[in-house]
């Protein structure tokens, strides 16, 4: 099974311990910590450094996202945007730095994927929506959405299906509940993927170039769903090449290039008066 899909499933009983002895990762979560309220800081990444072999992907990146905030993450391809998202919810390890989501902190001194209770809780607080959908091909649309709530949250079949029907209605996919992913369009698959992430009732969503494989009409369908979530006050970090969406829908625009965060500010400021020459160069090319 794909590693990203596998992250939706519960760890084996032997792995459900806070202990990470023998691992380079230390995960600690305060017991019964109170969740942050609206407008409080939900995500804090500090000094993340990540390599793939000899290649430096993230070079001391720090980022903070508040509850209810929409952050558009833009920049040239290969700049580290997707890698940063995967670090934020523990799908990648890193060499230096730390990630905190709500009360849960992940720390790594090696290139090891975080495990333990804190990592599981982080992945419940931050849903992930992938560019290539990552739907289970052998399950119907309804079953795709019910799988994690039943296996991870322990919901009954009835409870999980009630939640799934509500979410399918919300993303406009109720009539395709019994269909399998291979008969859906790209836009339909992405809306199902969003519903599946929402079924875990996260406090934030990480969206990784979720419209890059879609034609313009289908992009509009998916971005409408994302904007609806924004109006609901969910924290969103959206990696996107859709500059119009970033300008219109984001509270902040963050520019990541060559592994470094080079610009961070309101959309109007970043698009009209960028401080970094590298940002000006990037925007001149994508907006030409």
CATH fold for domain 3-261: Rossmann fold (3.40.50)
Sequence-ordered list of residues with C-beta below 8 angstroms from that of 165, at least 6 positions apart, any chain: 142, 174, 177
Crossing angle of the two packed helices 141-151 and 157-170, in degrees rounded to 10: 130
Instruction: Give the three-state DSSP class for 138.
Output: coil
How high is the pLDDT of residue 284? 93
Band (24; pLDDT cuts 50, 70, 90): very low
pLDDT at 87: 93
pLDDT tens by residue, 203-226: 999 999 887 767 777 787 788 888
Asked if 126 and 88 count as a contact pair (C-beta separation under 8 A), the reply is yes
Sheet with 104-108, edge to edge strand ranges = 25-28, 104-108, 96-101, 41-52, 55-66
Nearest to 3 by CA among 100, 160, 115: 115
The pTM score is 0.81
- At 36 the pLDDT is 36
Query: What pLDDT does 2 receive?
Result: 41
Mean pLDDT for the chain? 83
pLDDT digits (tens, 9 = 90+) for 25-50: 333 333 333 333 446 899 999 999 99
Does residue 96 surpass a pLDDT of 50? yes
Which pLDDT does position 228 carry in this prediction?
83
pLDDT > 90 fraction of the chain, expressed in percent and rounded: 57
Structure confidence at residue 200 (pLDDT): 93
Per-position b or e across 166-196, b if 16+ CB within 10 A of its CB? ebbebbebbebbeebbeebebbbbbbbbbbb
* Inter-residue contact 286 to 246 (CB < 8 Å): no
Ordered DSSP codes for 143-189: HHHHHHHHHTS---HHHHHHHHHHHHHHTT-GGGTT--GGGS-HHHH
**Whole-angstrom distance, CA of residue 149 vs CA of residue 280:** 44
Are 71 and 254 in contact by the 8 Å Cβ rule? The answer is: yes
pLDDT band at 179 (very low <50, low <70, confident <90, very high): very high
Mean per-residue pLDDT, 73-80: 92
- pLDDT higher than 60, residue 11: no
Supply the pLDDT for residue 216.
Answer: 77
Mean pLDDT comparison of 4-13, 113-122, 241-250, highest-scoring range: 241-250
Who wins on pLDDT, 198 or 231? Answer: 198
Residues of 220-257 as b/e, b for ≥16 C-beta within 10 angstroms?
ebbbebbeebbeeebbbbbbbebbebbbebbebbbbbb
């Amino acid at each position: 099974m794909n590693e990203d899909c596998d992250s939706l499933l519960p760890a084996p009983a032997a792995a459900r311990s806070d202990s990470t002895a023998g691992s380079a990762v230390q995960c600690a979560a305060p017991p019964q910590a109170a969740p942050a309220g609206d407008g409080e800081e939900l995500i804090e990444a500090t000094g993340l450094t990540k390599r793939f072999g000899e290649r430096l992907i993230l070079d001391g990146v720090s980022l903070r996202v508040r509850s209810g905030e929409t952050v558009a993450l833009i920049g040239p391809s290969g700049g580290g945007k997707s890698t940063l998202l995967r670090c934020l919810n523990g799908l990648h390890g890193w060499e230096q730095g730390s990630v905190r989501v709500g009360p849960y902190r992940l720390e790594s001194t090696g290139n090891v994927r975080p495990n333990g209770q804190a990592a599981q809780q982080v992945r419940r607080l931050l849903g992930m929506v992938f560019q290539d959908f990552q739907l289970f091909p052998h399950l119907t649309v309804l079953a795709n959405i019910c799988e994690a709530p039943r296996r991870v949250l322990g919901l009954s079949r009835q409870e999980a299906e009630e939640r799934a029907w509500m979410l399918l209605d919300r993303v406009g996919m109720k009539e395709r509940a019994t269909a399998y992913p291979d008969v859906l369009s790209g836009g339909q698959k992405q809306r199902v993927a969003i519903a599946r992430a929402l079924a875990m009732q996260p406090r934030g969503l990480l969206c990784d170039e979720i419209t890059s494989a879609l034609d313009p009409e289908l992009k509009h369908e998916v971005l409408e769903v994302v904007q609806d979530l924004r109006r609901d006050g969910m924290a969103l970090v959206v990696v996107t090449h859709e500059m119009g969406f970033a300008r219109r829908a984001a509270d902040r625009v963050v520019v990541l290039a060559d592994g470094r965060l080079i610009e961070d500010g309101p959309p109007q400021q970043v698009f009209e008066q960028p401080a970094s020459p590298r940002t000006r160069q990037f925007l001149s090319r994508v907006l030409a």
